[in-house]
Amino acid sequence: MDKCEPILNTGLRGFSVATTQISDVDGKRGRLIYRGYPVKDLAGAVSFEETACLLLHEKLPSQSELKDFDTALKKERAVAPEILTAMEKMPADALPMDILQGCVSMLAAFDPDIADESPEAAMRMSMRLIAKMSTLCAAWDRIRNGKKPVDPSPDLGHGANFLYMLTGETPDGHTASFFDTALTLHAEHSFNASTFTARQVASTKAHVYASISAAMGSLSGPLHGGANTRVMKMLMEIGSADRVDDHVKNVLETGGVIMGLGHAVYQVDDPRAHILEPMSRELGEAAGDPKWHTLSKALEKKGKAAFKEKKGKDIFVNVDFYSASLYHYMKIPMDMFTPVFAAARVAGWAAHVLEERFAGASDKPVLYRPESEYIGEYCGEEDCKLPEEN
């Protein structure tokens, strides 16, 4: 029997699988667009609540619309006590993303709209998930450390409330503002792996919780989420700016990678990195501990130069490079960086689920069913004999 030549996996790179009005990533020019707005114009100018409203409702809200949206989110922040009890029974060393993915699935059992397949019900579920995700993240970090979860504050914005529930302390204005901006920067990024997963599951008419739980499973993989955690671990391993040259040399000689440099789409610096970098510097200076920002800047500069010299081409900084030190300065545990990513990206995931399920054609959704190329063996009818029974 002849064997077919193996076909390289493409990872769907270069293939368009759907249309969207939610966001666009222009890798050549380094632009990220949310509903027509460059993210660099939104970051720091609008709140995460306004960003989420834009992604879900296709336009920035008026003041009255924002007030209603904010009130609705605050109303949905608390999670059922049964879910907190379930968390308390989990091993303290469980991976945070595994716990959170399970809790998102459990939220479905407490949602009064779960059997309603209307777009209005899906929107309400989306709002509940955006509101509750940060509560779940903060609750798990406290529970695993033997602390009681902190109840959401009705007086704080979404980002500030997250940090309050995580630490038990109301964050200062600078930290709260920077964290809010970071949430906006991570809220959406077009058809990345987890968003595609959410849309694929939504194409089966699965509900919002199932779609976003699947997206979280995708995000938990080391090729997608967790890069900024690995950036921070790398910085700690290097330790000081005077050891950067040795680290870069060792990485290039051994064929390794400098975490936070390089991206699957951007062919220039990630525009989000340029927004996060000065925030990391400012928080480091305010804390009297600029070490991690200084080390990051040195690593970016020397890593880019060494890569250019050895490989003959440029490499670019991505969003994870400076979000690592920024989150560290905010006292967020390293293994919670990916859950924080999820707490922001849930707004984008929800927007994509709604678009996949209800936008455009009346026969939406179209069930995703890609083809594959079989490269295994084949035996003809005369050659193919089943084993005889003994």
Q: What is the pLDDT of residues 318-343, one digit of tens each?
A: 999 999 999 999 999 999 999 999 99
Catalytic residue list contains 320 = yes
pLDDT the model gives residue 386: 65
pLDDT score recorded for residue 381? 63
Inside any domain, residue 1:
no
pLDDT in the model for residue 1: 38
226-284 per-position pLDDT tens digit:
899 999 999 999 999 999 999 999 998 898 889 999 888 888 999 999 999 999 999 99
The least confident of 145-149, 219-223, 346-350, 361-365 is 361-365
Q: What share of residues in the chain are helix, strand, coil (percent, to 5)? A: 55, 5, 40
pLDDT at 190 exceeding the cut of 50: yes
- 216 and 240 in a single domain? The answer is no
Say what the pLDDT of residue 389 is: 63
Would you say residue 204 lies in a domain?
yes
Q: How many domains does the chain have?
A: 2
Sign of the alpha-carbon dihedral angle for 328, 330, 333, 337: negative
Question: Is pLDDT above 80 for 364?
Answer: no
Catalytic residue among 141, 186, 320, 352: 320
Domain that holds residue 66: 35-223+340-358
Backbone angles phi, psi at 261, to 5 degrees: -110, 130
Query: If you write DSSP's letter for every residue of 15-57 in order, what string do you get?
Result: ------SSEEEETTTTEEEETTEEHHHHBTTB-HHHHHHHHHH
Mean confidence (pLDDT) of the chain: 92
Position 23 in a domain: no
One domain, residues 282 and 294 = yes
Q: Is a pLDDT exceeding 80 seen at residue 225?
A: yes
* For residue 194, pLDDT beyond 90: yes
In a shared domain, residues 145 and 53: yes
> What CATH number does residue 207 fall under?
1.10.580.10
Q: CA-to-CA distance for 106 and 119, rounded, in angstroms?
A: 21
User: Do 76 and 219 fall within a single domain?
Assistant: yes
pLDDT tens column, 37-94: 999 999 999 999 999 999 999 999 999 999 999 999 999 999 999 999 999 999 999 9
* Residue 53 and residue 124 in one domain: yes
Do 274 and 149 share a structural domain? Answer: no
On whether residue 352 sits in a domain, the answer given is yes
Catalytic site residue from 263, 293, 328, 352: 263
- Are residues 323 and 244 both part of a single domain? yes
CATH classification of the domain holding 268: 1.10.230.10
From the list 97, 66, 51, 75, the residue with the least C-alpha distance to 152 is 75
Pairwise CA distance, residues 254 & 115, whole Å: 54
pLDDT at 372: 81
Q: Which amino acid is at 211?
A: S
Q: Is residue 11 part of a domain?
A: no
Inform me whether the pLDDT recorded for 105 exceeds 70: yes
What pLDDT was estimated at residue 390? 58
Instruction: Say if residue 239 is in the same domain as residue 297.
Output: yes
Task: Identify whether residues 263 and 211 lie together within a single domain.
Answer: no
Burial of 159 (0-12, 13-18, 19+ CB in 10 A): buried
The tokens describing 272, both together, are 């989000």
Residue at 81 is within a domain: yes
Asked if the structure places residue 59 within a domain, the reply is: yes
Same domain, 69 and 217: yes
Longest dimension (CA), the chain: 79
117-150 per-position pLDDT tens digit: 999 999 999 999 999 999 999 999 999 999 999 9
User: Are both 207 and 58 inside the same structural domain?
Assistant: yes
Same domain, 127 and 243: no
Does 209 fall in a domain? yes
